A and B are shown apart, each in its own frame.
Chain A
C-alpha cells in the first residue's frame, strides 16, 4: 500500500512527478511508449518475470553487491562511519547492468528483435551490448563522436560484444546528441526495435521503470545496514548525471524521514563558470527528450552542452523524479568540481585499494567535505556505482602522466 503523503507515490497516471516528467514525444512514438507501459505493468505482476530477473542478478551480475565498511577512509576523515555500496563489482563494472537486464527481459517478452541504446561514458553501452550478446539480439549503440574519442576502451569492449557503434557528429557529439540520434532511429524502426534508455529520464514510463530496476541497490543497502548496524543509515550520498544510480539508492529510503539524502552533480570547472553539468544548480525547468525537468539552457530555451571530466555526467538534463525531490526538499543536491573529483579518485585508490570511476569520485568528494564534521556513530553510505578501469587513460592525461 502506498502511503498518502509518500515521496514514493510517483509518477501519476500522466507520468508526472509533480510538475516534472510526462510524455513529450512525437506521435509516431506515442503508441510505442503506451504499449511499453502496459507491458511493463504486466511484467511487474508476473512472478516468472521477477524470478528470471532475480536469477540473473544473482548468478550473472553477482548480486547482492557488498556493503563495505571503508575503515581507512573513515579514519582519514575522522568522523562519520563510511560505508561503500559496491555496485562497481557488478558484472560489466557498474550499476548500469541492473537496468539493462530488466529492460532486455521486457524486450524479449514484447517480442522485439533489435536493441538500440545511447551511451556517454560507454558504461551503459557496454551493459546493453552485454545483455544483447547474452540474449542473442542485434544491438546498435549511438555514441557521440567526441565521447568515442575519449572512451576508447569501452568502445572496443562494445565492439567485442558484437554491438554496432554509430558515431554521432551532430551537436557537440556527446550524450545529448547520442540520445537524439537513438530517438531518430526508434521513430524509424518502430516495429521491431526496443530502446534501452540508460538513465531515469526520457518519456514515461522510462523514469519509473529504470528507477524500479535500479532500486535493488537501495533495497539491498537497507537490508545490509539493518543486519550490520541494526538501524538505517543516517546519510546517503550518490553522484548524479541523469541520476539512475542515485535514484536506485535513494528511492527505498525516501519515506524514512530520518535518513538524510544527498545527490552530487558534476560541477565541472565550477558553478560560477559556464562549464559544468549541474542541471539542478545551474539550470531551469524545460522540456527535452520526452520529459520536463531541469535543463541547462539559455534564456530563450536553447539547450546548452554540459561539461564534466566524467563523460557519464555531462548531460544537460536530470531525471524528472530528482527535479521533484529537489523542489520538495526531500533530497539535498550539491556539486563537486572536476578537480575535487580527481583528488577524491586518487585518495580512495590509495586508501582503500579501490579505483573508482570518475562519476562516483564526485560523490566521494562530497563525502570528504562533510564526513569529518559528523560524529563517529553517524552512518554514511556512498554509492560506488562504477569502477575506474575505463578512466585510467583520462586520469593519466589530467595528471600529465604519459602511459
Chain B
C-alpha cells in the first residue's frame, strides 16, 4: 500500500486516478457508531472493497437540522450506542491501520466540534487520518470558525453548493473549498425527493464555470439506476439515506447488518461505474 506524506491529499489523488481511468466516484455515507460501534467499524472496513471511493462518515448530533428521518434515526442509534466525536476519530484511526488510500470525509454539525475545541479537533482529525470535513451549519460567512483552521491544519473543507446558491454567491461558496464540491441536488433535507437529472446537469455546468474542482452530487439518490444517471453528469455520486435505512431495518438483528449494507453499496457502486 502506498504511503502518503502528511501534506498530500488523498482526495486529490483519488480524483486524479479516476479522471485518468475515466471513472466516477462513489461516495458512501454512513453514520459513525450506527447501529453500534462494532458493526459500524465492520461496515467502514468493508466499504472500500464494496466499491466506495470515498467514505463520508457522519458525526452523530442530537439536532441534525438538515437531515431527513433516516439520518436523524441513524444519529439517535449511534448516540444511544455511546458514540462521541472522540469515538468517531478512534474509528478512523483504526480504519487507517489497514487502509491508507480511501479518503474519509467527516460530515456533521458544528457544535460537537466547537465543544471539543477547534484547534485540538483539527490536529486530532489529521492525526487520525481524516481527509476532509463537511459541516452543514458553517456557511462561508462563518469561515473563521473552522474552515480556515482546518485548511491550515491540512484538512480539505468541502462546501455544499445548492440550487439556491446563485452565480453571484457561487464564488464566495467556492472560495476556501478544496477536495471537491458537494452539490446538493434538491432544496430539501437528506433522503427526500429524487433529483431531476437535467436540472442537476445545468447546475453542475454552472458550478464548473467557476471551479476546476470535481463536483459530487448528493441528496435523494437511492438506487443504482439513479446513481448511474447522476454519474453521467457529475464527477461523483453520494448515497446516504438508502444505506442508512438498511442499518435501521436490521437494527433488531444486527448479525446481517454489515453484509446487507455492503451488498447495497456494491450495487450502488456498480451503478456509478457503469459507463
Q: Are A23 and B111 within 8 A (Cβ)?
A: no
The reply to whether A27 and B142 contact each other, CB–CB distance below 8 Å, is no
Interface status of B161 (Cβ within 8 A of chain A): yes
Q: Which B residues are in CB contact (< 8 Å) with A191?
A: 187
Name the distance in Å between B204's Cβ and chain A's nearest Cβ. Answer: 16
Contact B110 A28, beta carbon cutoff 8 Å? no
Residues in A whose Cβ lies below 8 Å from that of B138 = 24
Partner of B85, one of A14, A189, A301: A301
- 0/1 per residue, A269-303, Cβ < 8 Å to B? 00000000000000010111110100101011111
Looking at the assembled complex, report how far the CB atom of A327 sits from the nearest CB atom of chain B, in whole angstroms: 17
Q: Is the CB of A28 within 8 A of B187?
A: yes
Q: Is B65 an interface residue (CB 8 A)?
A: yes
Q: How far is the CA of A288 from the CA of B114 in the complex (A)?
A: 11
With A24-B142, A303-B63 as given contacts, are A287 and B110 in contact (CB-CB < 8 Å)? yes
Q: Which residues of A contact B109 (CB under 8 A)?
A: 287
B189 adjacent to A184 (CB under 8 Å): yes
Say whether B72 contacts A188, CB under 8 Å: no
Question: How distant is A15 from chain B, measured CB to nearest CB, in Å?
Answer: 8
Q: Which residues of B contact A227 (CB under 8 A)?
A: none
Give per-residue flags for B25-41: 1 if the beta carbon is below 8 A from chain A beta carbons, else 0: 00000000000000000
* Beta-carbon contacts under 8 Å, B184-206 to A: 184, 187-189, 192
* B117: min CB distance to chain A, Å: 10
Contacting residue for B166 out of A26, A29, A31, A292, CB 8 A: A31
Measured CB to CB, the nearest residue on chain A to B67 is A184
Q: Please report the C-alpha to C-alpha distance between residue A30 and residue B137 in the assembled complex, in whole angstroms.
A: 10
- What separation, in Å, do the CA atoms of A188 and B113 have in the docked complex? 26
Within 8 Å of chain B (Cβ to Cβ): is A328?
no
Cβ-defined contact, A190 with B187, below 8 A: yes
Query: A346 within 8 Å of B by Cβ?
Result: no
Quick check: A27 and B162 within 8 Å, CB to CB? yes
Q: Given the complex, which residues of A lie within 8 Å of B160, measured CB to CB?
A: 26-28
Asked if A22 CB lies within 8 Å of chain B CBs, one says yes
Q: Is A375 an interface residue (CB 8 A)?
A: no
A171→B64 CA distance, assembly (Å)? 11
In the complex, the answer to whether A171 meets B65 with C-beta atoms within 8 Å is no
Q: Is the CB–CB distance between A31 and B165 below 8 Å?
A: yes
Q: B216 contacts the other chain (Cβ, under 8 Å)? A: no
Bound Cα distance from A28 to B187, whole angstroms: 7
The 0/1 profile, CB within 8 Å of B marked 1, for residues 92-115 of chain A is 000000000000000000000000
Contact A31 B116 (CB under 8 A): no
Chain B contacts for A24, CB-based, 8 A: 110, 137-139, 142
Interface residue from A170, A176, A187, A303 paired with B111 (Cβ < 8 Å): A303
Does B115 count as interface, using CB distance less than 8 angstroms?
A: yes
Count the A residues whose beta carbon is within 8 Å of the partner chain — how many?
Answer: 37
> Which residues of B lie under 8 Å from residue A187 when comparing CB positions?
66, 187-189
Contacts of A238 in B (CB 8 A): none
Which chain A residues border B274 with CB–CB below 8 Å?
A: none
Instruction: Collect the chain A residues with CB atoms within 8 Å of residue B115's CB.
Output: 284, 286, 297, 299-301
Residue among A30, A297, A301 making CB contact with B141, cutoff 8 Å: A30
Report, as a range, how many residues of chain B touch the other chain.
Answer: 35 or more
CB distance from B1 to the nearest CB of A (A): 33
Q: Does B5 contact A (CB under 8 A)?
A: no
Q: Does B164 contact A (CB under 8 A)?
A: yes
Contact with B along A1-26 (1 / 0, CB 8 A): 00000000000001000000011111
Contact of B169 among A31, A189, A190, A299 (CB under 8 A): A31
Per the bound structure, the CA–CA distance linking A288 and B164 in Å amounts to 22
Residues of chain A with a CB closer than 8 A to B141's CB: 14, 22-23, 30
- Quick check: B65 and A184 within 8 Å, CB to CB? yes
A342 within 8 A of B: no
A27 touches B116 (CB 8 A): no
When distances are taken between beta carbons in the complex, the residues of chain B under 8 Å from A171 are 62-63
Interface centre among B114, B137, B189 (most CB of A within 10 A): B137
B85–A300 CB distance below 8 A: yes
A32 at interface by CB-CB < 8 Å: yes
Contacts of B68 in A (CB 8 A): 184
A180 at the interface (CB under 8 A from B): yes
A183: interface (CB < 8 Å): yes
Residues 166-208 (chain A) with a chain B CB within 8 angstroms: 170-171, 176, 180, 183-184, 187-191
Residue of B nearest to A26 (CB): B66
**Are A301 and B113 touching (Cβ within 8 A)?**
yes
- CB-CB under 8 A from A286, the residues of chain B are 111, 114-115
How distant is A231 from chain B, measured CB to nearest CB, in Å? 43
The answer on a CB contact under 8 Å between B184 and A27 is: yes
Q: For residue A290, which residues in chain B have a CB less than 8 angstroms away from its CB?
A: 137
* Distance of A32 Cα from B164 Cα, bound (Å): 8
- Residue B79 interfacial (CB < 8 Å): yes
Q: Are B65 and A180 in contact (CB under 8 A)?
A: yes
Q: Which of B135-164 contact A (CB under 8 A)?
A: 136-139, 141-142, 159-164
Question: Beyond A24-B138, A26-B66, A299-B115: 12 further Cβ-contacts under 8 Å?
Answer: A28-B163, A184-B65, A184-B68, A184-B189, A188-B187, A188-B188, A188-B189, A287-B137, A290-B137, A301-B112, A301-B113, A302-B61
Which 9 pairs from chain A and chain B are nearest by CB? A301-B115, A301-B112, A188-B188, A28-B162, A24-B137, A303-B62, A30-B139, A26-B66, A302-B62
5 of the cross-chain contacts (CB-CB < 8 Å) are A27-B173, A28-B184, A30-B164, A188-B192, A284-B115
